[in-house]
């Protein structure tokens, strides 16, 4: 069913009535399905449909922009955390007293930085 029209069927005393309406012309009831389909080809309806599509696209664009801003913020936060962790790893304090371990640590850090 087209979202721009509403078709209501009601039964009154064994009589079935179909009401066909379009949101571009509130309050207008079309006499038949054929007249409604003719209405769909009018400039008024096409302009209404285009305006509705523009509104929908604008809402979608705003939602995507919000997601973009949120993602950008998350990236910045994660980069700061990554930089802090790299800084902490680069400036680790090695316990004094065991120069052999200190040399091994320095070699490992050099290897890690060369891999980047």
Could you give the 3-state DSSP secondary structure of residue 40? coil
Per-residue model confidence (pLDDT) at position 93:
74
CA pair distance 7, 47, nearest whole angstrom: 22
Highest mean pLDDT out of 27-31, 71-75, 109-113: 71-75
- Which residue blocks in the chain are alpha helix, DSSP H? 33-39, 43-90, 99-115
pLDDT tens-digit series, residues 46-104 = 999 999 999 999 999 999 999 999 999 999 999 999 999 999 998 887 666 555 555 66
Residue 49 burial by CB count (10 A; 0-12/13-18/19+): exposed, middle or buried?
Answer: middle
């Amino acid at each position: 069913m087209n979202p721009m029209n509403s078709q209501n069927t009601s039964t009154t005393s064994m009589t079935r009535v179909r009401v066909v309406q379009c949101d571009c012309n509130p309050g207008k009831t079309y006499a038949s399905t054929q007249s409604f389909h003719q209405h769909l080809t009018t400039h008024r309806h096409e302009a209404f449909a285009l305006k509705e599509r523009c509104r929908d696209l604008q809402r979608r664009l705003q939602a995507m922009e919000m997601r973009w801003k949120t993602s950008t913020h998350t990236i910045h936060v994660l980069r700061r955390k990554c930089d802090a962790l790299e800084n902490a790893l680069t400036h680790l304090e090695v316990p004094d007293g065991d120069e052999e371990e200190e040399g091994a640590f320095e070699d490992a850090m050099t290897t890690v930085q060369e891999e980047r």
